[in-house]
Chain A
Amino acid sequence: MKINFKNILIALIEKEFKSYLRSINNFMNMIVFMIAIIILFPLTVGPSEEKLTLVSNAIVWIALIVSIIPTLDKIYISDFKNGWLEQYYYSPLLLEIIILIKCFVFWFFLIIPLTIFIPIFSILLNISFLIIFWNIIIFAIGSLGFCLIGSICSSLTLGTKSNNLISPLLILPLAIPIFIFGNGVVEAVKSNYDPLPNLYLLITVCLILLIISPLISAYSIKIALTK
């Protein structure tokens, strides 16, 4: 029978896009959570401008990451519950490629729009424009890495009753290289050093994840489906 791979791609992207559009609450939750952190953090640090300048960049990063992590473990759970993962398994397209597309769509529709808020929050925290520019670049690249890590953790915890508890514990250690190299770029810019070596390392980590994440995720999903 003639199989049209273009149809598979269109169907997959359409499904993901419509699902995210209809569950806009998840996106709103992320933004509300982020705003809460950005507002509460300076209040706890106190009115000292020096202290705030020292930690402001970290605040933006923590706000972004903490608001993303709860959504990462939900990449597959609804598809698993309503049987769509089985349909992916039956699809003529490789499950690894389907996973990669799902991660990209998740990143593009849910995470990339968050980068719009980086300049807004950064201005509120008196962060310089140069740092804001680098933050946007690092976050755009690093968040793809987070999505790929989220894909691994989400697929590993499919079918477990306590996946809410396990996922953040799995995600955080794997995300450390992204934190280190991402922060390294900003520190280099602040100290007038070349930020590119750290940026390249960040890209390398993401590229490695781009290869291993679909493989591990597909394997875990197959185990979850066939157990």
Chain B
Amino acid sequence: MASRLKDNMILKNISLTRGLKTIFSSLNIEFLCPGLNIIKGENGSGKTSLLMMISTLLQEDRGTIIRFGKLKKNDWLNEHVLIKQNSSLSDDLTIEENLKIWCGLKGWDFNTDKIEKSLKNFGILKYKNFLVSECSSGIKKKAELSKLSFDESFKLKCWLLDEPLNHLDENGKLFLKKIMDKFINMNGTILQTSHEKKFNHKNFKLIKL
């Protein structure tokens, strides 16, 4: 645990272009690790691209990203989770099946009790047998975020959350805050993009793009 506390996440002189558009040039950020980092910026300022780049889904053109010391790419993939703004659930499967298979693909244990407990926390247990195509955006978002309340998720180093509060009701927001606080208390790092004006969290680092 002590070595984990020393770990840090730093972006050094990062440049990123997508197509003809330059998204960042010479970006330098040192994230609060462990802790909550809230990334704010206008639409199109590159918040999602930043998370995707940290997650290795986008390749930076120039610069260095230090992800928790010298973590190898494959280890990093197993040590973080990216929850994107749009649902990444399969329409052909039920919510329970989606979560079960997601856990399986991560190599984690999956059983019905575990999934049910997670869905119950977000108050969507009754929708577990609904096909994703039949669910509203709010339910999909809650199903997506319930991936974070698995025991294994708290053992990760980092959560990358792309506008997690979109489509969420008050109860959903409260429970999300609760699990985020729990994760930070367990020395986890969260990078969250947001358009919210007020934040309920006590300590966080605000990063403006």
Q: Once bound together, how far apart are the Cα atoms of A136 and B81, in whole Å?
A: 46
Whether A3 contacts B105 in the complex (CB less than 8 A), given A82-B89, A83-B86, comes out as: no
Contact for B107 among A7, A84, A86, A225, CB less than 8 A = A7
- Do A92 and B77 touch (CB < 8 A)? yes
Instruction: Decide yes or no whether B59 CB sits under 8 A from chain A.
Output: yes
Contact for A19 among B90, B102, B103, CB less than 8 A = B90
Instruction: Decide yes or no whether A164 CB sits under 8 A from chain B.
Output: no
- Do B107 and A92 touch (CB < 8 A)? yes
Q: B104-131 toward A: CB 8 Å interface, digit per residue (1/0)?
A: 1111111000000000000000000000
- Do A86 and B88 touch (CB < 8 A)? yes
- Do A91 and B107 touch (CB < 8 A)? yes
- Count of chain A residues near B, Cβ 8 A: 31
User: Among B77, B79, B101, B152, which residue has the most Cβ atoms of chain A within 10 A?
Assistant: B101
Q: In chain A, what residue has the closest Cβ to B81?
A: A90
Instruction: Decide yes or no whether A160 CB sits under 8 A from chain B.
Output: no
Q: In chain B, what residue has the closest Cβ to A10?
A: B104
Q: Once bound together, how far apart are the Cα atoms of A26 and B64, in whole Å?
A: 46
Q: Please, which residues of chain A bring their CB within 8 A of the CB of B57?
A: 86, 89, 225-226
Contact for A82 among B58, B91, B101, B107, CB less than 8 A = B91
Q: A151-170 toward B: CB 8 Å interface, digit per residue (1/0)?
A: 00000000000000000000
Q: In chain A, what residue has the closest Cβ to B59?
A: A226
Q: Please, which residues of chain A bring their CB within 8 A of the CB of B100?
A: 11, 14
Q: A82-101 toward B: CB 8 Å interface, digit per residue (1/0)?
A: 11101111111100000000
Enumerate B44-71 residues with CB–CB distance to A below 8 Å: 56-59
Q: Please, which residues of chain B bring their CB within 8 A of the CB of A22?
A: 92-93
Q: Please, which residues of chain B bring their CB within 8 A of the CB of A93?
A: 105, 107
Whether A14 contacts B104 in the complex (CB less than 8 A), given A19-B90, A82-B89, A226-B57, comes out as: yes
Dominant secondary structure at the A interface: helix
- Give min CB distance, A76 to chain B, whole Å: 13
Q: Once bound together, how far apart are the Cα atoms of A12 and B107, in whole Å?
A: 11
Q: Once bound together, how far apart are the Cα atoms of A226 and B81, in whole Å?
A: 17
- Do B93 and A7 touch (CB < 8 A)? no
- Do A18 and B92 touch (CB < 8 A)? yes
Contact for A4 among B86, B90, B109, B155, CB less than 8 A = B109
Instruction: Decide yes or no whether A190 CB sits under 8 A from chain B.
Output: no
Q: Please, which residues of chain A bring their CB within 8 A of the CB of B92?
A: 18-19, 22-23, 78
Q: Once bound together, how far apart are the Cα atoms of A89 and B105, in whole Å?
A: 10
Contact for A87 among B58, B74, B79, B105, CB less than 8 A = B105
Q: Once bound together, how far apart are the Cα atoms of A12 and B23, in whole Å?
A: 35
Q: Please, which residues of chain A bring their CB within 8 A of the CB of B8?
A: none
Q: In chain A, what residue has the closest Cβ to B58?
A: A226
Q: Once bound together, how far apart are the Cα atoms of A129 and B205, in whole Å?
A: 75
- Do B105 and A91 touch (CB < 8 A)? yes
Whether A87 contacts B78 in the complex (CB less than 8 A), given A7-B107, A11-B110, A226-B58, comes out as: no
Instruction: Decide yes or no whether B137 CB sits under 8 A from chain A.
Output: no
User: Among A84, A89, A93, which residue has the most Cβ atoms of chain B within 10 A?
Assistant: A84
Q: Please, which residues of chain A bring their CB within 8 A of the CB of B108?
A: 3-4, 7
Q: Please, which residues of chain A bring their CB within 8 A of the CB of B77?
A: 89-90, 92
Q: In chain A, what residue has the closest Cβ to B93?
A: A18
Instruction: Decide yes or no whether A120 CB sits under 8 A from chain B.
Output: no
| Residues of B near any A CB (own CB < 8 A) | 56-59, 74, 77-79, 81-82, 84, 86-93, 97, 100-110, 152, 155-156
